[in-house]
């Protein structure tokens, strides 16, 4: 026999080994899963076909060649059918009525071929063709069988292709691998047919069938039930153990045998440990990725809720703002005597009303600021202004409130050049800091200061009020955060004021701070913004 001729039986042997090894391997892994059972079924049919192929190729008599080429046909009849069935199970379509019907037809025809295969209608005989001593001669039923075979393969491929187009991520990659596998097998396997019809092409592509099996098993198992690292560890340990075992058998005397068996024992123990640790590691990673996935989902849900909350706040605040402004207007008109001179008592009551109304307006404004910030709608209007003038005016504005609480409010500042900033926003920040300083102090002095620093300005409000503990420092500028220092105190607030301040200052590329030496030791809130 010529050397290259060995290629054909050897290719069959490789196909058989790959099919049976993988079929057995998947079954051992998880025989309870339906998809695995069909994978095993498919591997077995390809394996049987390959074994018969091998014996047919090495046959030395006509009778034996005829016998094995007929055996080969039994495998061939069921390879396309088992593949089609496997694809249906993979796509979870095998329970649909239409596909049940298709399967019923295919299996019926399959058994018709099986019956025909015992007669001359299918394989009529064998004769020498090309460099093969015994090549099968097709009977009249062989051509219809071939059409059916190709139809089943194309049908399965079409279903996979549709799935490929519709799926994403892992599923898409998995389907692609299956498609590549079937394409290779088709190209390779098809080289088996020409010679049946006297076209002088030898089955050079036969070995590609192995790749088909390997890719199919790999694709389904990898993305399905197991990790390749575990498989690698198992194969590695298995090979080592076989080597140690052979080495032990080849021992020359008993003491050497004992020694080598001990080696094998130790090796097995280490191997088992290795496999276990790889398994554990893989399981842990899977757990982690599951966790990450569910966290991601929860996070998305939270973002959605946050968005809905913002929209609600935005709508509610806009609806509230207008009536509050109208009430404010009327209070001022009544106080000014537009509807007749008010009595002293009335003015007193109007003052209370005005204060409460102002509180509400501040709250609604904060909500509006927050929703604008969170929806990225905050607009900054930068224009040149005199910061010292703004600070002095603000001090004047707050003096009556400080006086009323017996606090002394002072201003300390150096000359600052005119520069560009959003006047309203910065004023809002200073208002908030001063408002808090007064709100959270019962006595002492409040100092508003400004100085030039690092090519920008630093503004701070220092008080001798309730102060706050170190643990609050990190969170004090967070949304809705109210410090431990205000717990149990009857002071109105939402924990939004200085959060809004931080956002406004960050909009100027600056930063804020709040510090205190501790409870009852006063505090300092301030910000820095650059000149440009």
For tokens 């842990």, what's the residue? 284
| Beta carbon nearer to ligand ADP, 26 or 496 | 496
| Beta carbon nearer to ligand ADP, 456 or 467 | 467
| Beta carbon nearer to ligand ADP, 374 or 463 | 463
Q: Are 424 and 461 in contact (CB under 8 A)?
A: no
Least separation in angstroms between CB 366 and ligand ADP: 8
Site residues (vs ligand ADP, CB under 6 A):
432, 436-437, 440, 463, 465-468, 476, 481-483, 485-486, 493-499, 523, 525
Structure tokens belonging to residue 215: 């890719």
Least separation in angstroms between CB 322 and ligand ADP: 23
| Beta carbon nearer to ligand ADP, 266 or 469 | 469
| Beta carbon nearer to ligand ADP, 178 or 373 | 373
Contacts of 130 (CB under 8 A, 6+ apart): 195, 200, 202
Closest CA to 426 of 456, 400, 462: 456
Least separation in angstroms between CB 480 and ligand ADP: 8
| Beta carbon nearer to ligand ADP, 56 or 440 | 440
Name beta bridge partners: 459.
Answer: 450, 527
Question: How far is the CA of 521 from the CAs of 241, 466, 468, 486, in angstroms?
Answer: 74, 6, 8, 14
Least separation in angstroms between CB 521 and ligand ADP: 10
Least separation in angstroms between CB 174 and ligand ADP: 53
Q: Is 448 left (phi over 0), alpha (psi -120 to 50) or beta?
A: beta
Question: What distance in Å separates the CA atoms of residue 268 and residue 260, rounded to the nearest whole number?
Answer: 12
Angle at CA 254, nearest 5°, toward 253 and 260?
95
SS3 (DSSP) at 136: strand
Least separation in angstroms between CB 167 and ligand ADP: 49
For tokens 């898409």, what's the residue? 172
Least separation in angstroms between CB 407 and ligand ADP: 12
Kindly tell me the sign of the dihedral angle through the C-alpha atoms of 58, 60, 65, 68. negative
| Beta carbon nearer to ligand ADP, 49 or 499 | 499
């Amino acid at each position: 026999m010529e050397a290259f001729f060995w290629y054909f039986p050897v290719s069959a042997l490789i196909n058989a080994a790959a099919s049976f090894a993988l079929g057995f391997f998947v079954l051992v892994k998880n025989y309870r899963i339906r998809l695995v059972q069909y994978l095993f079924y498919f591997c077995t049919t390809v394996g049987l076909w390959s074994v018969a192929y091998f014996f047919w190729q090495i046959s030395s008599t006509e009778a034996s060649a005829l016998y094995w080429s007929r055996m080969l046909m039994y495998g061939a009849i069921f390879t396309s059918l088992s593949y089609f069935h496997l694809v249906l199970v993979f796509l979870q379509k095998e329970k649909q009525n239409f596909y049940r019907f298709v399967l019923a037809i295919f299996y019926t025809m399959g058994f018709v071929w099986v019956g025909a295969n015992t007669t001359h209608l299918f394989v009529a005989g064998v004769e020498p063709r090309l460099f093969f001593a015994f090549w099968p001669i097709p009977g009249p039923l062989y051509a219809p069988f071939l059409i059916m075979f190709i139809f089943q393969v194309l049908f399965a491929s079409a279903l996979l292709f549709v799935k490929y187009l519709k799926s994403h991520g892992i599923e898409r990659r998995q389907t692609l691998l299956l498609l590549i596998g079937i394409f290779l097998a088709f190209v390779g396997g098809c080289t088996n047919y020409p010679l049946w019809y006297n076209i002088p092409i030898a089955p050079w592509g036969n070995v590609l069938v192995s790749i088909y099996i390997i890719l199919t098993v790999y694709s389904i198992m990898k993305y399905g039930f197991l990790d390749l690292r575990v498989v690698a560890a198992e194969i590695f340990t298995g090979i080592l153990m076989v080597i140690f075992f052979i080495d032990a058998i080849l021992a020359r005397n008993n003491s050497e045998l004992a020694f080598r068996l001990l080696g094998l024992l130790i090796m097995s123990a280490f191997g088992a440990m290795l496999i276990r640790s790889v398994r554990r590691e893989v399981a842990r990673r899977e757990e982690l990725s599951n966790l990450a996935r569910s966290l991601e989902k929860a996070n998305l849900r939270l973002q959605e809720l946050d968005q809905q909350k913002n929209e609600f706040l935005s709508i509610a605040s806009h609806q509230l703002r207008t009536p509050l402004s109208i009430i404010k207007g009327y209070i001022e008109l009544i106080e000014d005597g537009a509807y007749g001179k008010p009595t002293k008592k009335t003015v007193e009551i109007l003052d209370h009303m005005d204060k409460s109304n102002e509180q509400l307006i501040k709250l609604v404004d904060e909500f509006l600021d927050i929703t604008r910030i969170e929806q990225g709608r905050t607009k900054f209007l930068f224009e040149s202004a005199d910061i010292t003038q703004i600070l002095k005016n603000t001090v004047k504005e707050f003096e009556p409130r400080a006086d009323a609480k017996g606090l002394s409010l002072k201003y300390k500042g150096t000359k600052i050049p005119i520069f560009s900033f959003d006047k309203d926003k910065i004023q809002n920040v200073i208002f908030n800091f001063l408002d808090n300083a007064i709100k959270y102090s019962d006595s002492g002095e409040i100092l508003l200061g400004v100085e030039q620093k690092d090519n920008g300005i630093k503004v701070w409000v220092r008080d001798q009020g309730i102060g706050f503990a170190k643990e609050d420092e990190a969170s004090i500028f967070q949304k809705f955060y109210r410090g431990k220092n205000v717990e149990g105190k009857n002071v109105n607030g939402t924990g939004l004021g200085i959060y809004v301040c931080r956002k406004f200052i960050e909009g100027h590329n600056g930063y804020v701070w709040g510090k205190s030496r501790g409870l009852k030791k006063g505090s300092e809130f301030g910000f820095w913004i650059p000149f440009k």
